Structure 1
Amino acid sequence: MAFRPRIAQLCRSGTAGPTSRTTRSLTCTANQDIRTRCRYRRQSTAAGLTALPRQSALNTLSNRRYASTKASAPEGQSEPVLAGAPDITNYYTIFAQTLPSGPPPASPFEISTSDLRREFLQLQGLVHPDKYRNGNEKAHAEGLSARINEAYRTLIDPLQRAQYLLRELHGIDVTAEDAATKHALDPETLMEVMEVQETIEEVGASPEGEAQINALKKENDRRVVDCVQALAGFFDRGDLEAARRECIRLRFWYSVGEGLREWEPGNTEIRLMHTS
């Protein structure tokens, strides 16, 4: 396609080196184009790049979030202790059998999804609210059940897992309100994303459009697999900056995949929506 070489030529026309004005201008323009053509689902939380919370602060934050999902015990009464309730310090401590060593780099980024689901079902069976008649115990079980559900949904998905690790353990929130500026996509991936958009504009209304869109879906699936593998390696080595960059790329490929799945014959564009 002529689109990619044309952009690459623009990059080469500037001063060599990573700080060239032409490259910065291209990145800014491409980011504006992506932001104009995409709709982001943003979260209201914001975190700094360099803030690295202590474990005690993380535990406090985690417990606060948990407390917000359950009813408080009446004054003068302690929280009930439910048999089999997990340690809710963080999502990894909840699944102590599957993830006994905790988060990366102490344990691999990759998780056995079958083991995780098995432990999830066991935990839900132990703390299911229907097992409790007492109002205080039932409310406490409902909070625990919601917490376990949230942890499972997060850890089972590589993107959600990566975003959780960066945000909760390292203070890097790639889903924050200012993420488009603070965590901008690298120029090379921006070009690839824009190339996909350009292809859809060219073939979307043609008789062969559906076959070409299917080919784009397979290509994007391969990108996602490669991105997850790279992300796992960075987390396992403790390379947080590289993990941050790869997580941003994965967010875009997830978005492209969602847009391609929603595509219908005759459409000449896709909506790119970041997963929160």
Structure 2
Amino acid sequence: MAFRPPSLARHFGRQTTSRSIITPTRSISTSASHRSFIPRSTNSDRCLCSRFRTQASAQIFTSASRGVFTASPGLGRRYASTNSSAEPTGESGIVGAPDITNYYTIFPQTIPAGPPPASPFSISIADLRREFLQLQNRIHPDKYPAGDAKQHAEALSARINEAYRTLADPLQRAQYLLREWHGIDVTAEDAATKHALDPETLMEVMEVQETIEEVGATPEGEAEINALKIDNDARIGVCVGALAGFFDKGDIEAARKECIRLRFWYSVGEGLREWEPGNTEIRLVHGN
């Protein structure tokens, strides 16, 4: 199918809205030292508190096992405790469970200051993967018997996986930052209208498509496609560098525009990777 701007816009407009990350409600247990300061606490009061905590924990486990997290009043996605030294054991029985307020708080060793501009947009992928493997080993579901603790460990493991995949990829990381911290969802269904590609980049994308149409069926087509892949990888690198600079400076509007460009070049790159000899067109696959 030939590449034209209107169809391209429609293609990028029909995307499923990314799910926003909602933080889980946390049950609050009272230590023995703190209980001693509660005046005239009766057995009835303590039973009521215990029953409340048990019910709250059951609700968390049930929601976590289904992949659903409910928001807790006063607990924001953006602001979380940076104390990573403690390794508490909650009623879930998960020792050293990470702070899952947001994806950045899950990896305090790699990203201790949180999202940009407090810390750079660029992340050491080697350090991120090392911490990811440590976390997964710590809370691996196979370490827990069947029941609430195992379900909670499974939910934590899935969330850590999702956080790692998101932060390890520059495009997904940028989209996450724009959506969760600045309320800008460039993957929404109305993205083609609200977040249109700039004309200059659109012309570049069209030129790539035209080149494929011209050389795709020729004997030298594969060599031409390989050259296009190299050029596209270079464009992606430039976009990622520019995106990092904009986030680090706090220029969110510029970061939004660069993120849209990066989305298109990701799509072109995916299409080039799926190209086969004899083809005269590429299929644009929208990144998440």
Cα deviation, residue 82, structure 1: 1.3
| Bigger mean CA offset, 87-96 vs 207-216 | 207-216
- Identify the match of residue 70 of structure 1 among 55, 65, 84: 65
CA distance in 1, matches of 2:248, 2:124: 15
Q: CA deviation at 1:187?
A: 0.3
Question: What residue number does 1:55 align with?
Answer: none
Q: Which residue does the alignment assign to 1:230?
A: 242
Residue 44 (str. 1) matches residue 35 (str. 2): no
Q: Which has the higher contact order (CA 8 A, sep 6+)?
A: 1
Distance 1:162 1:154 in 2: 9
Report the equivalent of 2:6: 32
C-alpha distance after superposition, 1:145-201 (max 9, x if no partner): 000000000000000100000011111000011111110000000000011001111
Q: Distance in 1 between matches of 2:18 and 2:123?
A: 27
Structure-2 residue corresponding to 1:199? 211
SS at match of 2:24: helix
Q: How does 1:125-144 map to 2 (within 5 A)?
A: 125-144=137-156
Mapping for residues 164-175 of structure 1, pairs under 5 Å? 164-175=176-187
Matches of 1:39 and 1:166, distance apart in 2: 18
Q: Deviations over 1:19-74 (max 9, x none)?
A: xxxxxxxxxx96314236x5776223599xxxxxxxxxx8xx3337x9754259xx
Verify the 8 A CA contact 1:259 1:273 in the aligned structure 2.
yes
1:87-144 Cα offsets, whole Å, 9 max, x none, are 0000000001100000000000000001000000000011100001150100110110
Asked if the contact 1:206/1:266 (under 8 Å) is kept, the reply is yes
- Look up the match of 2:275: 263
1:175-190 to structure 2, matched below 5 A, reads 175-190=187-202
- What secondary structure sits across from 1:233 in the alignment? helix
Residue 113 of structure 1 pairs with residue 125 of structure 2? yes
Q: Which residue of 1 aligns with 2:52?
A: none
Contact 1:39/1:272, CA 8 A, preserved across alignment: no
In the alignment, structure 1 segments of 5+ residues that lack a partner are: 1-28, 48-57, 73-77
Using the alignment, how far apart are the partners of 2:17 and 2:163 within structure 1? 20
Residue in 1 that maps onto 2:81: none
The offset of 1:79, in angstroms, is 4.8
Which segments of 5 or more consecutive residues in structure 2 lack a partner in the other structure?
A: 26-59, 69-89
Whether contact under 8 Å (1:46, 1:176) holds in the other structure is no
| Partners of 1:119 and 1:41 in 2: CA distance | 36
SS at match of 1:195: helix
8 A contact 2:140–2:157 mirrored in 1: yes
| Larger gyration radius, structure 1 or structure 2 | 2
One-letter identity of the residue aligned with 2:9? R
| Dislocated runs of 4+, deviation >6 Å | none
Rate the CA distance shift 1:155–1:190 in 2: closer, same or farther, 3 A: same
User: What's the counterpart of residue 31 of structure 2?
Assistant: none
Match of 1:212 among 217, 224, 231: 224
Please state whether the residue corresponding to 1:190 is helix, strand or coil: helix
Percent of paired sites with the same residue: 72
SS of the aligned residue for 1:110 comes to coil
- Counterpart Cα distance in 1 of 2:93 and 2:19: 34
Q: 1:175 to 1:198 in 2, by over 3 A?
A: same
Contact 2:13 2:191 in 1 (8 A): no
Task: Give the alignment's TM-score, normalised by structure 2.
Answer: 0.75
RMSD: 2.3
Distance across 2 between alignment mates of 1:45 and 1:98 = 25
Q: 1:257 deviation in Å?
A: 0.3
CA–CA distance in 1 between the matches of 2:18 and 2:244? 25
Aligned equivalents of 1:211 and 1:133: distance in 2?
Answer: 55
